[in-house]
Chains A and B, each alone.
Chain A
Amino acid sequence: MISVREAQFVALAVAFVVVVVTVSAKKSERIRGLAVLLAWLVPGAGHVLLGRWRKGLFFFSILSATYVFGLWIVGFKAISWDDNPFYYVGQWGSGATFAAAQLLSLQKPYPREGIPPSWFDPGLLYVCVVGLLNLVVVINVLEVKRSPAGAPAAPPAPGASDPPPAAPAPPEARA
């Protein structure tokens, strides 16, 4: 559990980065920066902002289902720093899981009744992996091309990956 002072420092740092990016970036870059921030806060929200709503919904549904399943195994108590620092930091990959960890890690996680005790560690792993996978999704937001809302992604131009046609041989070479 981080202290109030550390939380204030993190909030100030994020606010500073947001202000600097907003002032210095172009409009398209601002939207992409906002998409990255949203993608960190809620899995898939960045893709939805960029018009890739199907992919955004896919990321949200699959990551949230995995997260809830992991939490269900460990009795809806997210892991704290004292339990396992590595798994705890792994939850920082998403704002939603980070917030849940702050709220739910006040009590120690425990194996749910009826679940084999050996499932406890894999349950914590599920919670951690969701945060790490969301980092991959955030990086993907930087690469995804923006499309109008609801429109499918533009297909690649035909022959874009083919090598250019060879230039005709000069007349002296033909002779």
Chain B
Amino acid sequence: MKGVSYLLLYVPICLVVMLVLEACRSDNPARIVRRSFSNFGMLTLVLVVGGALVWTINRWL
């Protein structure tokens, strides 16, 4: 697990990307923030589940 701290940098850059993309779509700040966090959560969930699946396959199969 050495050097895995760089994964922390995923959070701010991903939030910045989501915020800019949503700000291009909408003018409502509350909607921009809500949808950005919602998309960020969904993307993170997909990545975590995918990573867990790959880890499981490599570990047990």
Binding site for B on A (CB under 8 A): 55, 58-59, 62-63, 66, 69, 116-119, 121-123, 125-126, 129, 133, 136-137, 139-140, 152-153
Contact = CB atoms under 8 A, between A and B. Distances in A.
Contacts of A126: 9, 13
B28 to A, nearest CB: 10
Contacts of B19: 62
Contacts, number: 49
A66 B24 contact: no
A166 B24 CA distance: 35
B17 interface: yes
Interface string B13-57: 100110111011001000000000000000000000000000000
Q: In the complex, which range does the number of interface residues on chain B fall in?
A: 10 to 19
Instruction: Describe B's contact surface by its main secondary structure.
Output: helix
B24 A118 contact: no
Instruction: Describe A's contact surface by its main secondary structure.
Output: helix
Contacts of B21: 136
A137 B10 CA distance: 21
Contacts of A63: 16, 20
A35 to B, nearest CB: 14
B6 interface: yes
B5 interface: yes
Nearest to A141: B24
A117 B5 CA distance: 10
